[in-house]
Amino acid sequence: MTTEAARSLAITLHHGWWGDGLALIAGLLLPFAFAPYGFFPLAVLAPALLFYSWEGCDSRRAGFRGWLFGLAMFGGGVFWIRVSFTFSAVDPLVAGLLMAGFVAVMALYPALLGLLLGCLSSNLSRPLRLLMLWPAAWVLMEWLRGYLFSGFSWLQLGYSQIDAPLSGWAPLVGIFGLGWMMAFTAGVLLLCFGRRLPLFPLLLVIFLWGSGAGLQHVSWTDVSGPALPVALIQGNIPQEQKWLPEMRAPILERYVGASRANSEARLIIWPETALPGFAHRYTDLLAGLRTEMRARNTEVLLGLPVWQREGKRNLNAATMLGDGTDYYYKRHLVPFGEFLPMANLLRPILRRLGAPLPDFSPGPDQPPLLSMVGTLAAVLICYEVAFARDVLPALPEAAFLVNISNDAWFGNSIGPHQHLEMARMRALESGRYLLRATNTGISAVVSPAGKVLARSPQFEFHVLRASLTPMAGATPYVRMGNTPILLAALCLLLLAAWRRLRGVREG
């Protein structure tokens, strides 16, 4: 292809429906960078294609293309949310409408990003746009998406790198730092197709990826105690049967029987809401189980719902049956699943659609620490493991992480695979072992390097036996958190805004 033909093709792709289609294709590609597919180079290619579609656009067109990108990305990457509606007895048509509404709203994040960058980029050179402003703005967009309305952190770029060379940087810069590196690499990729090879940025990319591979062999934390035998019980209770009165006895028999059969373990973990009813109905059962297991030098952690009569509140909880009986109450609730954001506006709409109204309350805002097997552990219930900010308050005090979940809500979809991928990133960021016990899978034991040491099959009753090593110390990310990355990104965004404002005044 001649230079003139290549330039003509580029102009065609930038304008009109060709550019719109390119943004749509980029969004369709990105979910395949994450579990269970794991084609991590797509996490560079997809943002590069989106950036390319934004070049030469006015702000309105860039916003529209960002929205198309978001529709494709979320429509293809988190469609499993619709499955959870079916377990709530929602009409299939209504479930489809709710899912479409969710995707359309989440697509507003890349749409607003495109709109903003279209406004700020006009007086910046191409290298400054692609290497500084756009990667920094991408990071801030992902952070904002992880905070507003409780946050939704699925499909953040950094998670795609859990099995890739860049993962070595996670204990230093966390999930947002990885996302910045991915967006920066995408910008360099575009510059490589320009008239002049960007030598220094290209060398920086090579350094980041190469050193990331080397950092994978660095241990940031230290062993603080002997290895302990553990057992994770995956009950495999179908979601549609879980709360039926006639299933209470079989469910209890399954979990209690499996605990007795594995009492050689120092720690036994049941999944989220393993008990089929509120805690006050099982006072005698819990007391008897605690006494029996402690006689065998075994402690049990289990998930259960709690009704607080004094506050008339439902709480999603985990209780530790060890030397004493202690509770952790879930703080970060699932929007629409456990609580309703903008309740005054949305409650009448959901009632009209016949959708169930969530009625859980968040627990007290305190570190998710429980004492178990002679040390402290961070307990994360379901959704909480998807957010580094929910883990950081427990570190470095916690010697290991425990995640209990009920991914039966996602059915046989890609959702549980993505959830495990995010849990693995928390282990890597913190330099801690992570024990993950779920109802229908995927239960797993994850090393401080983010590697899966053992995992259960899905949709089978299974007891996952493994050993756990307590860890001490703190990774650089645990010590600094997200603040340095976010401040640096914000400074670059403000600098671009200042240059834009100055350009308008001078013009």
Residues 111 and 178 in one domain: yes
Residues 152 and 96 in one domain: yes
CATH number for the domain spanning 227: value is 3.60.110.10
Annotated active-site residue in 142, 272, 338, 429: 272
Over the stretch 90-129, which tens digit does the pLDDT of each residue have? 677 877 888 898 999 999 999 999 999 998 887 788 999 9
> Which segments of 415-482 does DSSP mark as H helices, in order?
415-430, 476-480
Write the DSSP string, 86-125. HTTT--HHHHHHHHHHHHHHHTHHHHHHHHHHHHHSTTS-
- For the record, the structure tokens of 422 come out as 């995010």
**Torsions phi, psi for 313 (to 5 deg):** -130, 140
Over the stretch 199-257, which tens digit does the pLDDT of each residue have? 899 999 999 999 999 999 999 999 999 999 999 999 999 888 888 889 999 999 999 99
192 is catalytic: no
Task: Flag whether the pTM goes above 0.85.
Answer: yes
Annotated active-site residue in 57, 299, 330, 338: 330
How many domains does one find in the chain?
A: 2
382 is catalytic: yes
491 is catalytic: no
- Note the pLDDT of residue 332: 87
Residues 265 and 357 in one domain: yes
Distance CA 300, CA 258 (A): 12
Residues 204 and 277 in one domain: no
- Note the pLDDT of residue 441: 86
Residues 215 and 227 in one domain: no
Write the DSSP string, 330-382. --SPPBTTTB-TTHHHHHHHHHHHTPPPP-B----SS--EEEETTEEEEEEEG
CA distances from 466 to 58, 130, 252 (A): 56, 46, 23
Confidence of residue 156 (pLDDT cuts 50, 70, 90): very high
Confidence of residue 400 (pLDDT cuts 50, 70, 90): very high
> What is the extent of the structural domain holding 288?
223-474
Annotated active-site residue in 142, 382, 384, 429: 382
Residues 182 and 292 in one domain: no
